[in-house]
Structure 1
Amino acid sequence: MDRADFHHPESGWAEEPDDVDSIDFSPTVTIVYFADEDTWQAVWGGRQQLGEFEGTREEAIAWARERCDTIRIYSLIQRDIVDLAPDDQ
């Protein structure tokens, strides 16, 4: 079986949404951590990618704040993507 063609029947995340027009595609920055490279990557976009940055966590947050008010970041504690509040570092 080709792995690319397999989707578990209960994996709701793999399903296409019923109403794509109802999804909020306003620009956001998502920041993730790559442990094997010890680097943080920020990706800015909505329906299309507007930019990306790699560097330290602090540099990625500063880059994101210059571009967008809505920032999501990978939390090493929660092990999930969370909203970054305006005063969070």
Structure 2
Amino acid sequence: MDGADYLHPGSEWAKEPDDIDSIDFSPTVTIMYFADDDTWQAVWGGREQLGEFEGTREEAIAWARERCNTIRIYSPSEGDIVDLVPDE
């Protein structure tokens, strides 16, 4: 299953970029939810993947915080990937 299957159709994340060179590839962690097996997967990277983790939502967030300040997470209520706020 593709992560884009979870995204809202109007999501900026699901669109192809106009100019690949204008994209900020600074390291980030993106956390996605997979309902089929009730797991959260965190992927850390920029232009290349630096690591990945699978576990509960809380475990994925803790793993992400150890590696990076910029964390994005899938929000079931929004149907989109959003920035993780510091106190979440």
TM-score interval (norm. to shorter): 0.7 to 0.9
The alignment yields a C-alpha RMSD, in angstroms, of 1.5
How many pairs are equivalent?
75
Identity %: 79
- Runs of 4+ in structure 1 deviating by more than 4 angstroms, as ranges, are none
Per the alignment, residue 38 of structure 2 pairs with: 38
- Structure 1 unaligned blocks of 5 or more: 1-11
Alpha-carbon displacement from aligned partner over 1:6-65 (angstroms, at most 9, x marks no partner): xxxxxx924x523x2221000000000000100000000000000000000000000000
**2:83 matched residue in structure 1:** 83
Q: Which runs of 5+ in 2 are unaligned?
A: 1-13
Bigger RCO of structures 1 and 2 (CA < 8 A, at least 6 apart):
2
TM-score after normalising by structure 1? 0.78
Find the counterpart in structure 2 of residue 22 from structure 1.
22
Question: Which position in structure 1 is the counterpart of 2:69?
Answer: 69
Q: Distance in 2 between matches of 1:17 and 1:48?
A: 20
Which one has the largest radius of gyration?
A: 1
